[in-house]
Each structure stands twice: as C-alpha cells, then as structure tokens.
Chain A
C-alpha cells in the first residue's frame, strides 16, 4: 500500500525493516531522528547537572510509583500490629502505619523508601547546582531569559514536591514541620486563620491534610514538573546549548558531539550511573527513620527537628528572628484584639521572597544595568564577570547563613559552643556576610583577571632558571599556545554606562539609579588583552629581556 501511494518504492528485505518502514511512512520518525540525532551538545562536566536532575526525577517517578502501591494516605486511627517491636500496640494514623509496613513488612519496601527520599534530596541539590552553573556562567542572558524563569519555577515545584512528600508519613518530624507551616500561614494578617482552616479542613492537624498533600504530591506537583521539564527541554532544543569560550566557538555555532550516537550513549549510560549512585546510598545509609520519631502527636517535639535540607533556609530564618529586639516586641495585639506576629511573618516570607524575587528578576536587572540586549551563546568564565559572580556569591552566602541556622543546635553540640553564641554570630553574618562575600569575591575575580593578563603578556613561569654566558640568571617564561591564549583573551568586559538623558534632555530617577548601579558594578574592571598589547609584548624580542630590563630598572630605582 505504501509503495503504491508514496513516491518511495523502497521494499525492505527483513521483517524488522518492514515494521520500521511501516511506522516511518506514517509518523515520519526518521526525519525526527535525523534532525534530533544531529543536534550538537558541547561537552563539559558542569553541563551535566541538569541531566542529573532529570534522571533523579525519573528515579523519583519509578520508586514513587512503587510506594503508592502500599501507602495509605488516611489519618484514621489504628493500632500498630506490624513487626517493629518498639511501636507494637501504639495508637497511630493509618498513613503512619502503612509507612511502617512499607519499611518493615514489605519486601524491598525500606530500600524503595530510602531510594525515593535520597533521590529527592539529590534532585533538589542537582537542580540548585544546575541553576548556580547557569547563573555564574551567564547562560540566562538573551535568548534564554524565559527558560531561566521556567527553571526557577521548576525549583519552586521541586521544593513543593519535597515538602508535600516529607509531610506524608505522618510521623512526629513531618507533623512538627506541618505545624510550623501552619504557624506561618496563621501569621498572615487578616486571612491567616481562615486560610489555615481551609488547608487543614478545620483546626490543625485535623483529619484531611495527609490525603490532600498526597494528591498534591503524586498528581498535581509531578504533572506540573513534567510539563515544565517538557517546556524547559523544548526551549533548550530551540535555543541550542551554550558553550564555553574556545577556539572556533562563536555566537553562531555550537561545537561538540552530535546526539547520535556518542552523546545519546553517554547520556543513557549516565542515567544508570546516577541510578547506581543513588541506589548505593539508599542501600547503605538510613534516611528519615520514621520509627525513631514515632507517630505524630501535637504535644511532643523532638530535639534535632529540622526540615529536609532544601527547606532548611526558611527554618533557619525563623530560628534567627528575635522575638523582642531592644525592647521592641515583634508580636503585638493590633485593633480589634487581633495579634500581628511579625516574629513569624517576617522571617518566613521576607528572605525567601527576596531570594526568589531577585532570582526571577536577575536577567532583566542585568540587562537593564548593562544595556546589553544582544544574544549570548558563549558563556562567561565567572572571573570575567566580577559583578555577577560577586552578587551570586553574596546570595549564596546569605542562603548558607540561613541554612546553617537551621542546624544551629547541631553546630552547638558538635563543636562544643553555646547555642546562643551560634545564633548571635549567624544573626550578624546574616547582614554582613553577603557584603563581605561580595567585596572579597569581586577582588578575587579582578585578581584572577590580572593574573590572566600577566600570563598572556609574559607567558607562563616555568621555574627553569638559566644562566646566561655573561653570568646573569633569568627565569624562562614559556609563551602560551594559541588554544590557551584564546581562552584568556576572548571575553567581554562591560564598561560603566553613565546615566543618559532621555529625548527631552532629562535624566529620570530610575536612569540615575541605573547609572549608579553601573558605576558600582563596573568601575573596577580589567580589560582583556588587545591584539596590539599582545604584539607589543612579543615584539620586544622575547619577554625574558623585557623582564630582566624591568627588574634592573626596579633595582636601580631603589
């Protein structure tokens, strides 16, 4: 049939060939494979964290499906009758009992639970590292701003997936976590109490929350993540992958391997490597021992109660917040006898709001300050964008201070220091840490750029000392080869763009702010070596002489 209707009269010889031909003539698979198989991906280890995120998500789907077969998201009461002795006969919810059954009475259940949880931790970690890589190399610039937004949404969805999952087993730890969330919701002025009642179906903890979180955890959030991943990857294909600067790499090409066959084989193999690494961890390291924590009961709170690492920064901010500061209470009764709990509201929402707000807006902030609206497919080395690297490090330090605060009790017990002192220090670092981080990072970046300049102009110090016939000692400097040279000289260094008047000849307030920011960011800059400078350095007929002449001059001037 196909042969008679299509112009193609190809007759396959084997059965497999006939089946393939049948499918191909109907869906046009070969052209897709041809197109996609020739897609080029550049090779660099730092480009693979997105893949790790994708693969851990696949592991999460697989292990999660197994867990849904045995988990019962009911908050009905039951008496435990499984094989874990220290909980025998204890009153608990069905959700908690079924999680215990998965852990102790279902073959392979504990491994699957631990696999699911460990890959969740690695999932969010790899998403974060992937985003840091994209940020520090400037890969979010035009045309990829929207994909950066999709990535930010994916991070938030990953946090949502993690938190809803953390709350499902209905153990003491997850219940404590939910109670904190409940407190944060109730701290929202006016609507807080109603919102909390709506979410929990009445007063906390109620009997509905586990079932509701379960639907979010296994249906809504994963579906949204899948949708976002599809958009994310689609945009990667459209935009093509970015690449690090190098000889032959331009803004209009991509240098690397085609998907088929090398890259596909590597990526496929990497999936099994990631799966293997997570499986080894899951098989050897215990995670969330719900049997230690016991069933949820609103009265007890265990020492060492923390959220999983990715929610830690919010918990840390809550721990850092003082209740009363220099006699000023952060919780007071306002009109009508309502309580305004700024001591909960501020730390729970403000740092996370700032962090995510700046993260979402950064591509536009940078574009506005630099006035750079060109497309960028070549990545920046972090040292060649000192302002961005410094801002990023400041953000990372701010995050890490809050993160560390979430484990302030463990810092106190394990380093034998006072818990109060840990809190005071972290409070101070919360404010000055990012500033110090910004200044130091920018100085380090500029210093590295100067070092690069030095190497380009004078070559690499070989450490080889040569004695010349007339008795003078010199160190031989080895010039760089073209590949290394290219890496060190081919970058852009933005310059200060002073505030400019608009068409009416006026300088608006925002433009003044932009000008000030531009000066703040780019006042200190190290320009890349120009070809003229390079030629000048080399035309001295060997920099050894240049070097010695300079040092002689230096000595005589003393």
Chain B
C-alpha cells in the first residue's frame, strides 16, 4: 500500500489511471450492453407478461378495441371506434404504443404522434398480450436494425420506388387525402421504421418480407439514417420541401432585401 502511494507522483501514474478507468467503463458498458441486447431480442413473452398486458389492455384500450381486442361494433355510418387487433402482431403494438400514437388522443383522419404514455415494459406487456391473441408480425430482430450494416445506395433506390411518393424523396413527409398525411421520417428509430414497414400503420401499406426482404428494409433504414446524419450539403435545407419553399424564400427574403436596397439607393441625400 505504501509502495503504491509512493509511486502516485510517477510520470506514468496519470496514464495508468486513465487506462484503468477506460477499462473499467468499457468493461461495464460491454456487460450492460449485452444484458440490454439479451432483453431486446426476447421474442417469446412470459405468461406473466401476457397477463399484465391484458390488464393494461382492459384498462386503456378496450374502450375502442373491445374486450378481447375483437374490435368495436360498427357505428352509424359504418365507422368503427377501433378495429380488431387479433393477428396484428407484437410489432404493430410496439409501433403504435411505442411512438405514442396509441392510445389515441382524439379521433381524426389518423392517429397523431405524441409523447408516449407507456414505458418500455408496459409496451412490451401490451405487445405480449396482443401477440398471444393471434399470429402476426413480431418485433424485428436486432440484426436488421443496424443501419451501418445496410447499403444506403440500394436503400435509396428502394425508398424512391416504394416510399417517396408519400414520404417525399428526402423523407420530409407529404399530404394524403382528406387530412391524412405521411409523416416526416427524421428522428424515427430504426425499430419503428422497420415495424411500420411490416405492419402498415394508419394509411401506410404493408411491405411484407416477400415485397421488400429484411435486408432491403435494412438498406432503407441505412439510407434514411445516412441522409439524416449528413444534413444538407448546400446549406439550410428549407425543410426539404422542394421548389415551393425555395420560391417562398426568393419572394419574401430575397425580394425584400433587394427592395430595401432600392429604397436606400434612391433616397435623397439631403
């Protein structure tokens, strides 16, 4: 102990300490990381999860989706408060509840994104319950969610052919009929992007594995994450909305500044 304290002013002490610290943090992180991973890749739910999920469902979802998730009876104009959830799978629940779209704040053309109302565990329990009602898309495996493994160029082609007509070529979102819309995709997690493709939430069509393979979905995720991280090379992107925002800028700011200069130039110097 004394020998150690004597060497505490050694020139290499600081480096040794730093190394030690890094090793400890790295080791802990590695352990913690594998623990998390192990939890996330669990696709089989325990009976307790299902039981807890049912309780949550009855308390929060059954008003619209009905007891046993069979869906609400049809109303006056063929409208249904909530559809049957039998067979929608765990992925649908994880997407809808995990992005805050469900429980829905109010009825409207489509469910709006809002702050989540359930934590990860509760979401998992709800997913477990709904998955137990009938076979459906499961929560995606971790291996397809790693954007760095995908090919952004191939993903870009898939995106332009399959997604850009609603979500915009730069994934900035777009309008659909009667107040519905395709949201912007910046900031959406890899898992939720994948789940949206396999479950087709709101007005989105389902892109099954026969349509776009899991690797293709991974490429699309890679493309979205690449364009999100790179930003806009040419300066402010003006929302990536296309020529409308460009025209708006030149007519307001551009011409405004020019007019200010013309007024200044023709001012009488008295």
Tell me the A residues contacting B by CB distance below 8 Å: 43-49, 52, 85-90, 103-104, 110, 114, 118, 121-122, 125-126, 129, 172-173, 266, 269-270, 273-274, 277-278, 281, 283-289, 291-294, 297, 299-309, 312, 406-410, 412-413, 416-420
A-B contacts, 24 of them at CB < 8 A, read A45-B259, A48-B266, A85-B153, A121-B250, A172-B160, A172-B169, A173-B242, A281-B254, A284-B236, A285-B249, A286-B237, A286-B238, A288-B246, A293-B160, A294-B157, A300-B160, A303-B182, A308-B247, A309-B246, A309-B250, A312-B244, A412-B179, A416-B179, A418-B179
Q: Is B45 an interface residue (CB 8 A)?
A: no
Cβ–Cβ contact A122 & B254, under 8 A: yes
Cβ–Cβ contact A419 & B179, under 8 A: yes
CB nearest to B183 among chain A residues: A413
- Tell me whether chain A's interface is mostly helix, strand or loop, or mixed: helix
**Chain B hits for A301, CB < 8 A:** 164-165
Cβ–Cβ contact A285 & B174, under 8 A: no
**Chain B hits for A88, CB < 8 A:** 153
Give the contact stretch, choosing among B119-127, B186-194, B225-233: B225-233
Tell me the B residues contacting A by CB distance below 8 Å: 109, 152-153, 155-157, 160-161, 164-170, 172-179, 181-182, 223, 226-227, 230, 232-238, 240-247, 249-251, 253-255, 257-259, 261-263, 265-266, 268
Cβ–Cβ contact A103 & B233, under 8 A: yes
**Which 3 pairs show the lowest CB-CB distances between chains A and B?**
A303-B174, A309-B247, A286-B234
Query: Given A121-B247, A289-B234, A277 and B242 touching (CB < 8 A)?
Result: no
**Chain A hits for B166, CB < 8 A:** 303
Chain A min CB distance to B105 (Å): 14
Cβ–Cβ contact B173 & A413, under 8 A: yes
**Chain A hits for B175, CB < 8 A:** 303, 408-410, 412-413, 419
Please, how many angstroms separate the alpha-carbon atoms of A302 and B237 in the complex?
A: 17
Chain B min CB distance to A129 (Å): 7
Chain A min CB distance to B106 (Å): 13
Cβ–Cβ contact A306 & B261, under 8 A: no
**Chain A hits for B153, CB < 8 A:** 85-90
Please, how many angstroms separate the alpha-carbon atoms of A288 and B243 in the complex?
A: 7
Cβ–Cβ contact A306 & B244, under 8 A: yes
Q: Which of A104, A303, A420 contacts B177 (CB 8 A)?
A: A420
Cβ–Cβ contact A281 & B249, under 8 A: yes
Chain A min CB distance to B139 (Å): 27
Cβ–Cβ contact A306 & B169, under 8 A: no
Query: Given A86-B226, A121-B250, A122-B254, A410 and B233 touching (CB < 8 A)?
Result: no
Query: Given A43-B266, A45-B263, A287-B234, A303 and B254 touching (CB < 8 A)?
Result: no
Query: Given A277-B258, A294-B156, A409-B175, A122 and B169 touching (CB < 8 A)?
Result: no
**Chain A hits for B170, CB < 8 A:** 289, 292
Chain B min CB distance to A525 (Å): 31
**Chain A hits for B152, CB < 8 A:** 85-86
Query: Given A86-B156, A277-B257, A122 and B250 touching (CB < 8 A)?
Result: yes
Cβ–Cβ contact A304 & B242, under 8 A: yes
Cβ–Cβ contact A413 & B181, under 8 A: yes
**Chain B hits for A122, CB < 8 A:** 250, 254-255, 258
**Chain B hits for A416, CB < 8 A:** 179
Please, how many angstroms separate the alpha-carbon atoms of A278 and B257 in the complex?
A: 10
Given A104-B233, A118-B246, A419-B179, 6 more contacts at CB 8 Å?
A284-B236, A303-B182, A304-B244, A312-B243, A410-B244, A418-B178
Please, how many angstroms separate the alpha-carbon atoms of A104 and B246 in the complex?
A: 21
Cβ–Cβ contact B261 & A273, under 8 A: yes
Query: Given A294-B160, A307-B243, A302 and B169 touching (CB < 8 A)?
Result: yes
Please, how many angstroms separate the alpha-carbon atoms of A321 and B128 in the complex?
A: 50
CB nearest to A274 among chain B residues: B258
CB nearest to B173 among chain A residues: A413
Please, how many angstroms separate the alpha-carbon atoms of A291 and B262 in the complex?
A: 36
Chain B min CB distance to A461 (Å): 26
CB nearest to A88 among chain B residues: B153
**Chain A hits for B243, CB < 8 A:** 173, 288, 306-309, 312
Chain A min CB distance to B220 (Å): 11
Please, how many angstroms separate the alpha-carbon atoms of A126 and B152 in the complex?
A: 41
B235, B236, B244, B249: most-surrounded residue (chain A CB, <10 A): B244
Query: Given A85-B152, A292-B227, A413-B173, A305 and B242 touching (CB < 8 A)?
Result: yes
Cβ–Cβ contact A302 & B164, under 8 A: yes
Cβ–Cβ contact A287 & B246, under 8 A: yes
**Chain A hits for B262, CB < 8 A:** 45-46, 48-49, 52, 270
Chain B min CB distance to A404 (Å): 10
CB nearest to A113 among chain B residues: B234
Please, how many angstroms separate the alpha-carbon atoms of A308 and B175 in the complex?
A: 19
**Chain B hits for A48, CB < 8 A:** 262, 265-266
Please, how many angstroms separate the alpha-carbon atoms of A126 and B250 in the complex?
A: 10
Query: Given A86-B223, A129-B255, A303 and B250 touching (CB < 8 A)?
Result: no
Chain B min CB distance to A281 (Å): 6
Cβ–Cβ contact B244 & A299, under 8 A: no
**Chain B hits for A292, CB < 8 A:** 169-170, 227, 240
**Chain A hits for B249, CB < 8 A:** 281, 285
Query: Given A45-B262, A89-B153, A125 and B167 touching (CB < 8 A)?
Result: no
Cβ–Cβ contact A45 & B237, under 8 A: no
**Chain A hits for B234, CB < 8 A:** 103, 110, 114, 285-287, 289
Please, how many angstroms separate the alpha-carbon atoms of A122 and B230 in the complex?
A: 29
CB nearest to A287 among chain B residues: B246
**Chain A hits for B178, CB < 8 A:** 418-420
Please, how many angstroms separate the alpha-carbon atoms of A482 and B114 in the complex?
A: 65
Q: Which of B109, B155, B246, B268 contacts A308 (CB 8 A)?
A: B246
Please, how many angstroms separate the alpha-carbon atoms of A301 and B166 in the complex?
A: 9
B181, B182, B240, B268: most-surrounded residue (chain A CB, <10 A): B181
**Chain B hits for A413, CB < 8 A:** 173-175, 181
